[in-house]
Structure 1
Amino acid sequence: MPTVKTTYLGELRTESTHLQSGNQLITDAPTDNMGKGEAFSPTDLVATATGTCMLTTMAIVAQRDGIELAGSEVEVTKIMSQTPPRRIARLEINLKMKTNVALDDAHIKKLENTAHKCPVSLSLHPDVEQVIDIQWL
């Protein structure tokens, strides 16, 4: 069964529906590539998926150990290549982690390793540079 159904709406805009939940999102081409930039671009979604995957997988591992990460945040800066072909060249990922308990070095290492090995991150082409900074607040 398909996961997502996407319809091209014209004017470089799409509407995608997550078939299990019915949630929808719109994409636009970015302003530097003939678009309006009024919504996420497809490459913005790759950046978003990388950051959210890191947060989510860290939260799964933390939850198993009775640790809550609510209030943690991730900011991702997407940098496109300057030479053809057009592609994501670099993702700068800044995780700001909050916990409900003080963590020892072993837990911090475990959670940070989880971020580096999230499924989206591992699915990206090796030419996409991933710079990950994790701050424990």
Structure 2
Amino acid sequence: MPTVSTEYLGHLRTQAKHVASGNTIITDAPLDNHGRGEAFSPTDLTSASLGSCMMTIMGIVAERENLDLAGTTFEVTKTMAADPRRISKIEVNFTIKSNVELSEAQKQKLQNAARTCPVALSLHPDIEQLVTFEF
């Protein structure tokens, strides 16, 4: 069974459906690449996936440590290279919230978890991953 089923809607737009849940995501080409920029671009999704994966793995570690990271936020900034057109850098800036004061060891575990998430390890090594944590 496929994980995602996607239809091209025309005008540089796709609709991807998560087969198991039925949730959908629309993508649109960005303004600087012939699109309307009215939805996530595929490279936006790649960048957002990095942050979401990092947060998920930190959440797993936090649960194991009996920590609550609810309210933690992150912002992602994507930088594109021109020739060839590709993602050259993804910056992920976390603002960590916790229900308790985190020890240095706990902070290090969370940072290590983020940096070794499956998406981070799957991206091409030419894509710079700049990750910061504010505790």
Q: TM-score range by the shorter chain?
A: over 0.9
Match of 2:108 in 1: 109
Deviations 1:49-68 (A, max 9, x none): 00001111101110011001
In structure 2, list runs of 5 or more residues that go unmatched. Answer: none
Deviations 1:78-128 (A, max 9, x none): 00003x110000011101100001111111111110011011011000000
Q: Which runs of 4+ in 1 moved over 3 A?
A: none
Match of 1:128 in 2: 127
Match of 1:100 in 2: 99
Match of 2:54 in 1: 54
Distance in 1, matches of 2:59 and 2:99, equals 12
TM-score by length of 2: 0.98
Deviations 1:31-53 (A, max 9, x none): 00000000000000001000001
Match of 1:79 in 2: 79
In structure 1, list runs of 5 or more residues that go unmatched. Answer: none
Distance in 1, matches of 2:40 and 2:77, equals 13
Distance in 2, matches of 1:103 and 1:133, equals 16
Aligned letter for 2:68?
A: E
Report the count of equivalent residues.
135
The CA RMSD measured in Å over matched residues stands at 0.6
TM-score by length of 1: 0.97
Among all aligned residue pairs of Structure 1 and Structure 2, give the percentage whose two residues are the same amino acid. Answer: 56
Distance in 2, matches of 1:38 and 1:105, equals 42
